[in-house]
Structure 1
Amino acid sequence: MNDNETKRLSRLTAILIQLQTKRLLTASELADKFSVSTRTIYRDIRALEQAGVPVLTEDGKGYTLMEGYSVPPVMFTEAQANALIMAEQLVLKNKDTSFIKDYIEAIEKIKSVLRYSIKDKANLLSERTRFDQNINRERNSNNLSDLQFALTNFCLTKIEYSNEQNENTTRLIEPFALLSTENWLLVAYCRLRKEFRFFRLDRIQKMEVLTDKFEPHKMTLQEYFDKYH
């Protein structure tokens, strides 16, 4: 998921919560709130409708939700919940404090309807993910969703990794945290080197999430930084 897709997911979520908490919303109100065009809002509303959200249009007045509709507990899969957590981290970098407040409230409402197992995993992922201030650079990776799953389910992961000298090695790793800098970085315990290492996601040539589990690491991400850096 690239930054534009992540931002759109965060906006769709916030729009959904706004529709749940207000009687009527116009496209221009939503466009101003999220600093996008009304055409973008029209596309967002269509996307919500296609996802099964009963958005009603009252001519000349705006959008509203069908009476009695609420976000169902089974609406989000584990992967979708993980994507929302990533979106949350991006939103926290936004300069608009009102938008941050609205989105955090939206995320909390969504977390409240997640199944307990998914909620626990989503909270863990939130604690183990860091973004720096430079959020606009392109980061190429096809493995992010699988690594989120491995991290929150404590699955041993096998990777073929190419280092800066283009030397390839096969590693068994225990995913611990995800960092967004100039590139996506995975912090993981490497069983080959017997220590924690950084792995650039764009240098992972092949990856397989195994069924074997590893013992969860008890420290927090901040404790990791304090201990190793």
Structure 2
Amino acid sequence: MILYLDFLIALVLAEQLVLKSKDASFVKDYGEAIDKIKSILKYTVKDKTNLLTDRTQYRLVLSQERNSDNLSDLQYALTNFNLVSIEYTNKENLVTKRIIEPFAILNSENWYLVAWCRLRNEFRFFRPDRIQKMEILEEKFEPHKMTLQEYFDKYQ
């Protein structure tokens, strides 16, 4: 039962993080997954999960507004090494078309995508909520041979 409890605590904390996410696709995907998991749990375990859900809060993100709906697609592109075509609005409201190679997805009040930008020929940060149009292309890119920590050590 202790293993179940550890599992439940991890699920509930993950649920709190996802529900505070500003991306609707994460909330939808997680909700569907957690519903499937809960459906196969024993009744007492399900009750404990619901209790933990009701009594656990995670408050990192200040705003509840969902402002993007493409992180699931970006995760797909990242894990399958698909190029992504985007129309991106920068902080000055200028729109550019770019082909990017997704590298990492980070969260700090907002979600951020780290990607190699073929227009700028360098790694760039993109906010998914500023992506106006996005298409995952069939064309693949060569995976970048570094960890996220190596990226931070080299570029930050």
Q: TM-score, normalised by structure 2?
A: 0.69
Contact residue 147 and residue 175 of structure 1 kept, 8 A: yes
CA contact (8 A) 2:116 2:122 kept: yes
Q: 1:176 aligns with which of 103, 117, 120?
A: 103
Aligned to 1:134: 60
Residue 15 in 1 paired to residue 15 in 2?
A: no
Whether contact under 8 Å (2:84, 2:134) holds in the other structure is yes
Q: Are the aligned partners of 2:87 and 2:133 in contact in 1 as well (CA < 8 Å)? A: yes
Deviations 1:41-90 (A, max 9, x none): xxxxxxxxxxxxxxxxxxxxxxxxxxxxxxxxxxxxxxxxxxxxxxxxxx
Q: CA deviation at 1:34?
A: 3.1
For 1:134, what is the secondary structure of its paired residue?
A: coil
Amino acid at match of 2:75: Q
Task: Determine the structure 1 residue equivalent to 2:114.
Answer: 187
Alignment partner of 1:209 is 2:114: no
The answer to whether the 8 Å contact 1:160/1:204 transfers is yes
The 8 Å contact of residues 2 and 139 in structure 1, kept in 2 or not, is answered as: no
How many residues align structurally? Answer: 132
Question: How far did 1:135 drift?
Answer: 3.8
Correspondences of 1:1-229 after superposition (within 5 Å): 1=24, 8=31, 11-12=34-35, 15-16=38-39, 18-19=41-42, 25=44, 28-35=47-54, 134-135=60-61, 137=63, 138-229=65-156
SS in 2 for 1:164: coil
Closer/same/farther in 2, CA of residues 145 and 2 from structure 1, 3 Å limit: closer
Task: State the alpha-carbon separation in 2 of the partners of residues 157 and 143 from structure 1.
Answer: 12
One-letter amino acid matched to 2:71: L
Largest Rg, 1 or 2:
1
In structure 2, the partner of 1:113 is none
Please give the alpha-carbon distance, in whole angstroms, between the structure 2 residues aligned to 1:168 and 1:191.
16
Distance 1:154 1:29, change over 3 A: closer
Provide the C-alpha distance between the structure 2 equivalents of 1:166 and 1:13, rounded to a whole number of angstroms. Answer: 41
* Percentage of pairs with the same residue: 53
Instruction: Kindly provide the CA deviation profile for residues 180-223 of structure 1, in whole angstroms up to 9, marking residues without a partner as x.
Output: 22221110000111100000111111111111100001111111
TM-score (norm 1): 0.49
Q: Which runs of 5+ in 2 are unaligned?
A: 1-23
Give the whole-Å Cα distance in 1 for the aligned partners of 2:72 and 2:45: 34
SS of the residue 1:142 aligns to = coil
Task: Output the CA distance in 1 between the equivalents of 2:73 and 2:137.
Answer: 11
Segments of 5+ residues of structure 1 without an aligned counterpart are: 37-93, 97-132
